[in-house]
Amino acid sequence: CVRDNESISRNAIAELKGISNSTVTRIVESLILDDDLLEENGYESVARGRPRRLLNFKGHNKYIIGIDLGTTYIRGLLSDFNAEHIKEIEVVTDPERGISHVTEKIHYIIDALLSAKLVDKDSIKGIGIAVAGMITGMSGIIEYSPAFNWRNVDLLKILKKRIELPVYCDNVSRLMALGEQVFGRGSQYNNFLVINVGYGIG
């Protein structure tokens, strides 16, 4: 809510979201003190009472790595929390060479983005991976990927052996829809459809 409504007060958040001021205050304090995602910046004048403190989203100094695990190419992107692109890397997938080869390519991209020295390494908060296939919830287990001919592959378990950052994995079309809902034209609709046309159709 703060990210989408730059410079907003706690009272305005409570009104927009239909929750109590005390709940908003509790969540905001956690986002300021524990997560360092919000900051107080300036005041809003009101007809009666004290001016209200305004909140801003701090997305410029925290980063994530996104991986698009495609059948033809694997693309990696370093981005800040405002979705501003910092660096992108692309390598050929070669899926016919097996899971070990593909995961090695993923590690190569992650290592290259981590060692690029474009941002403070400690400010990279996690890694998200988009994969074509049926994935069980947030477990990262790929039940079936026809593009890779994988069945019951625990991708997160394989990757976490060498990665200390939090890693998340989900279906590529579902993540495209989520991105469109948060940052794109989907934000103005209650329901919408995303069709992903590539090596396959999702």
Instruction: Report pLDDT for 146.
Output: 86
The better pLDDT of the pair 46, 181 is held by 181
**Mean pLDDT for the chain overall:** 90
Q: What pLDDT was estimated at residue 118?
A: 84
Average the pLDDT over 51-78 and give the result: 92
Instruction: Give the pLDDT score at 183.
Output: 82
Q: Does the pLDDT at position 193 exceed 80?
A: yes
The 3-state secondary structure of the chain reads: CCCCCCCEEHHHHHHHHCCCHHHHHHHHHHHHHCCCCEEEEEEECCCCCCCEEEEEECCCCCEEEEEEECCCEEEEEEEECCCCEEEEEEEECCHHHCHHHHHHHHHHHHHHHHCCCCCCHHHEEEEEEEECCEECCCCCEEEEECCCCEEEEEHHHHHHCCCCCCEEEEEHHHHHHHHHHHHCHHHHCCCCCCCCECCCEC
Q: What is the pLDDT of residues 85-122, one digit of tens each?
A: 999 999 999 988 999 999 999 999 999 998 878 888 88
What pLDDT sits at residue 128?
Answer: 94
Whether pLDDT at 49 is above 80: no
